[in-house]
Amino acid sequence: MKVVFVGNRSSRPTDGGGDTFQRLLLEGLQRLRSSHECSFVAPERSKGVVQSLVVQHQIDLVWFTCPYFEPVEVPFATTVWDLGHRQMPWFPELSLSGWTFDEREHYYRSVLPRASLVVIGNATGARAVSSFYQVPRESLWEIPLPVDAAGLQVVKVDSAAIESLGLKPAEYLFYPAQFWPHKNHVTLVDALALLRASGRDLKLVFSGSDKGNRAHVEAYAAQRGLTDSVVFAGFVETAVLHQLYLNAFAMVFGSLLGPDNLPPLEAMALGCPVVCAAYEGAHEQLGEAALFFDGLDAREAAVQVARLEDASLRTKLIESGRALVQTRTPDEYLRLVTAALDRFAHTRRLWAAGNSYRHPPG
């Protein structure tokens, strides 16, 4: 088949995981050897770029790799990152601001029932798609998020890169996340307070761009008497981000939203142990390579962090994480994508390539 992958990569590095995912996908496509003829295009809203490409090159299938869609007259696949607006509609960023609840719901109700293939990270996500939008199970493909394990595992430790933030190796917890409420920074501040009260002299480092909630988290840290112990690093360049992982005592991932997330995989690839909120899908995504806590239970989070003082447990987690990310490479992601294409090709060959089949008049 001739397949075009449609991505809407941001030019803003502060846009985070979605942009990273599409970068890895594009790089993987450039290496891909497949019986299918694959290409990648960035759309221009309201200009029908994708459908024009379909007609011009007789495309058989369009794959939308992000929450973007424009009408095409051939079968299409779509990638779902999460359904947070249905699972956690009380969070303003999932209902009221930016991409609102009604806009999200219109998009998913319009697109998912018509998609030939719907891709999501794991069975937990697939069940949500099927439950909320009645997508047939045979149309759902579980393909876990990829991570650039090979590229990350060769990064060397450089503690000088964190000195400007007033940090020392192994004396802080790290959480990279945009400042959305569902990212759950406040619970981690509470966990830090408990750890420090028990005599553990750790700091907590937050990196990520402000989406409107940073001032609230800063005020909360001050209220808990932790102004000097919580570091707000803001958006950091990639090289500094890597060093924050590499030098941390642990990466503590607080997000309440799944079904899967990239930062835990990045941490594992860099040899940083992971303590993770048990969002729906977390156990399925990370297995035995992380320690888990109830996302809103600061005491449980603190207990799990403290367990990492056990050197044997720490080593086991790091080794399990490194083994896990070897199964989550961009090439493995595209191998599973190719398997989905191979399956659908048996159906697609039943009518001609190019534009849509139309009934003759009368």
Domains of the chain, earliest start first: 2-146+329-348 (3.40.50.2000), 149-325 (3.40.50.2000)
Mean pLDDT of the chain: 93
pLDDT at residue number 336? 94
Task: Indicate the pLDDT class of residue 285, thresholds 50, 70 and 90.
Answer: very high
- The distance from CA 242 to its chain's CA centroid, rounded to whole angstroms, is 17
Please state, in angstroms and rounded to a whole number, the distance separating the CA atoms of residues 57 and 49.
12
Looking at residue 117, its pLDDT comes to: 98
Q: In this predicted model, what pLDDT tens digit does every residue of 63-93 receive, in sequence order?
A: 999 889 999 999 999 999 999 999 999 999 9
As a whole-number percent, the residues of the chain with pLDDT over 70 amount to 95
Place of tokens 């319009």: 110
Q: pLDDT, tens digit, for every residue of 177-235?
A: 999 999 999 999 999 999 999 999 999 999 999 999 999 999 999 999 999 999 999 99
Report how far residue 63's alpha carbon sits from residue 75's, in angstroms, rounded to the nearest whole number. Answer: 9
pTM: 0.94
In 96-237, which ranges are continuous DSSP H helix? 101-111, 123-133, 149-152, 185-197, 214-223
**Overall average pLDDT of the 18-37 stretch:** 82
